[in-house]
Structure 1
Amino acid sequence: MSNHTMFPAGAVKFGITPTGWVNDDFPDIDIGIPFGQIVSEMALAGFEGCSRGHKYPTDPVILKRELDMRNLKMSEPWVSTYFTINEMYQSTLENFDREIEFIKQMQSGDLVLAELGGSSHQQPIALVPNAPKFNDDQWKRLADGLNTLGHKANCCGVKMCYHHHMGTGVMTMDEIGRLAELTDPDCVHLCLDTGHLHFAGGNNLEFINLYSDRIKHVHLKNIRQDVMNYSLDNNLSFKEAILRGVFTVPGDPAGCIDFKEILQALADKDFAGWLVVEAEQDPAKATPLLYAQMARKYLREVIGL
């Protein structure tokens, strides 16, 4: 273990998503691990928090009690927006309001969201060729909607962090740049997802240099480069890429992303917030607790925390 820490005491918190145990986009990627085991294994691996999954109790009181028993906090609920398609504005706002209320009841967490209008990632189709390309009107609708939501979040003391995502209209560095330019930096923060950015051809260090003031939440996702190349060359769907093992955790020797330099860059830019391990994997092939422990051990060695 390091004799020093990259980040000041209390600056970062370590979370993990349940996507190694069960998948929210594709619920059939599931070997039957129940909620109680999922969160117990997260705690056993040494994490402080977790994001929400579809197996979690829907009653926030029950969920908070279950997490409290394991000394876990909610790192984020995921929220999907649909500003770029027709007749979805009002329902997007109403869903957002429910998630703000959820965070209040959980007494922790950032709000991580992405625009899924027209997204290819949940469909059985070629992922990148079918990702939407927004026109000027759609960009304006998205930016105006996000600014409205971000202001609401600020008023409630919640950090709203936009997540660029494979298969969506905000996937590439250029698209992220346009989103950043059109939205209010004081209320529309960014979630860096290291795996999604690499998958989309982006550069994590460049992203950190460009947007360090806006990065308030980080998903630490690793990539198996050979599987990524195969997925892109053969126009696989997102689900097919996941099942082939495109994603893995920090600390896996099979991954290609250099997390030491990414974490150091974040520390140099005074990042503070949740560092959340995420890897959508098939639990039948990648034992979830093993990979959770692998990631936490690696982060402890690199960061010193």
Structure 2
Amino acid sequence: MKAKLGMSPIAWWNDDLAELSDDVSLEECLRQSRSAGFTGMEMGRRFPSDPDIMLPILKTADVTLCGGWFSGTLVNEDMSANKDRIQPMIELFKAVDAPCIVYGEVGRSIQGDRSKPLATKPKLSDSEMKDYARKLTEFGEWCADQGMPLVYHHHMAAVIETEPELDAFMKYSGAGIPLLLDAGHLVFAGGDVLRAIDNHHARIKHVHVKDVRMPVIDALDRTKQSFLDAVALGAFTVPGDGSLDFGAIVKRLAHHGYEGWFVVEAEQDPKKNPPLKMAQIGHKELMRVMTAAGYTVETQGFPVA
């Protein structure tokens, strides 16, 4: 089985918490991650939106664009508005041969609002969940028809956060909206990663290997502290530096035949946790557990024409 290892630039620059950002260029970010062994990088705010500018940067770094976040609002905004906003991203991602766009729901979400405690996250009724899942399926099918598949990112402080919410969303949605499995977000929400893989492996098309520091999460007062408070306190980290058993997680994905990207997305203070050092720790741990699970990790970065 083949796998690819990527990173998210959120380890270098945080889009929601400016104070958790390193003053490094895109080129330096790519150089550091590639030197640690990663062949892919998801898109962040310092990436150019013009493929003619982005492609030479990726080629020089020997790195593939392996995804990127789209802030979707289908829970409270119409389909046409989301299509209009995602269309330029679809064209960009097609031009640089990215595998997918990551759909993250920000409608009604409190994930970016530090004044809103975790306990006040939005919840959908059963009828709302059915309607939302139907819209996401239709939107995912439309994006795939445009030539760029979506993957759905369940997320803390959003409408699909907990394992029961994920189960309901997967029940009511269709194959037209594949799943991004994020181990860290699911555990933070009290879920069981191995059970989620068993239940939804057929739809998993992208994986975020986000680790967590459970002592930080367990100490949170969810009636007072927000998602961003948790991030600032160090709730997330890279595999090999946190509380999750990625040996078991990767083995379970391998058991179900998952092949594709494993992306380290670990937002934390780069001054306390230097991104290059953390990238090296994460890559070493992933290579250990992926080799044990029977994966062959691809070492080529930028695709050869």
TM-score (ref. length: structure 2)? 0.91
Structure 1: gaps of 5 or more residues: 1-7
Q: Which residue of 1 aligns with 2:301?
A: none
| Matches of 1:131 and 1:233, distance apart in 2 | 10
Contact 2:119/2:223 (8 A) holds in 1: no
Q: CA, structure 1 residues 127+275, in 2 after alignment: closer, same or farther (shift >3 Å)?
A: farther
Contact 1:127/1:166 (8 A) holds in 2: no
Instruction: Let me know the Cα RMSD of the aligned residues.
Output: 1.6
In the alignment, which of 277, 285, 296 is matched to residue 298 of structure 1?
285
Contact 2:68/2:101 (8 A) holds in 1: yes
In the alignment, which of 16, 26, 31 is matched to residue 25 of structure 1?
16
Q: Which residue of 1 aligns with 2:236?
A: 247
Residue 72 of structure 2 is aligned to residue 81 of structure 1: yes
In the alignment, which of 252, 258, 268 is matched to residue 271 of structure 1?
258
Residue 269 of structure 2 is aligned to residue 282 of structure 1: yes
Q: Which residue of 2 aligns with 1:118?
A: 108
Q: Which residue of 1 aligns with 2:160?
A: 170
Q: Which residue of 2 aligns with 1:235?
A: 224
Partner AA of 2:138 in structure 1: T
Poorly superposed stretches of 4+, deviation over 4 Å:
none
| Matches of 2:41 and 2:215, distance apart in 1 | 29
Q: Which residue of 2 aligns with 1:50?
A: 41
State the Cα deviation string for residues 128-158 of structure 1 (Å, max 9, x = none): 2121012345324422321222112332443
In the alignment, which of 162, 166, 191 is matched to residue 202 of structure 1?
191
Residue 221 of structure 2 is aligned to residue 221 of structure 1: no
State the Cα deviation string for residues 214-248 of structure 1 (Å, max 9, x = none): 01100000110110112245631122111111100
Aligned with 1:213: secondary structure?
Answer: helix
Q: Which residue of 2 aligns with 1:149?
A: 139
| Matches of 2:202 and 2:147, distance apart in 1 | 18
Residue 129 of structure 2 is aligned to residue 139 of structure 1: yes
User: Aligned residues: percent identity?
Assistant: 33
Aligned with 2:202: secondary structure?
Answer: coil
Aligned with 2:279: secondary structure?
Answer: helix
| Matches of 2:222 and 2:178, distance apart in 1 | 33
Q: How many residues align?
A: 292
State the Cα deviation string for residues 184-235 of structure 1 (Å, max 9, x = none): 12x1110000000000000000000000100110000011011011224563
Structure 2: gaps of 5 or more residues: 292-296, 298-305
Partner AA of 2:163 in structure 1: M
Contact 1:83/1:138 (8 A) holds in 2: no
Partner AA of 1:80 in structure 2: S
| Matches of 2:254 and 2:130, distance apart in 1 | 33
Partner AA of 2:69 in structure 1: W
Q: Which residue of 2 aligns with 1:4?
A: none
